Amino acid sequence: MNALNTQQNIALLNVQQGLSEQSKLDLTHAARNKELEKTAEAAKEFEAVFIAEMMKPMFEDIKTDGMFGGGHGEEAFRGVLLQEYGKMVSQTGQLGIADQVKAEMIRMQAQLETTNSAQ
């Protein structure tokens, strides 16, 4: 009976160790997913800023209209308006800049990890 208890204890330890290994893997995957989410968010923000900068020349020659506002206030907040336009266009995903930026960031990170592990 004593040998059976020993075998059961060994089996339980093996199961526990397997669960511990799985927990480590789960935590690693969760951390990697969090990093991917941050990468995707940074790529979206980059795309929004890029679009806003692309739109800026389109609005430079537009004069403010005195009838519905205009003046220095409209000129001052035009940059904010362009930032919001950039965010809206970026959210549609039609340009695909964020996808390309994200893929490049992931490739560069993998290359950096490979370089660091080789040292």
Q: What is the pLDDT of residues 80-92, one digit of tens each?
A: 999 999 999 999 9
For residue 1, name the pLDDT band (cuts at 50, 70, 90). Answer: very low
State the Cα–Cα distance between residues 93 and 33, nearest whole angstrom: 21
For the entire predicted model, the pTM comes to 0.66
Q: What is the pLDDT of residues 18-70, one digit of tens each?
A: 656 666 666 666 677 788 889 999 999 999 999 999 999 998 887 776 666 66
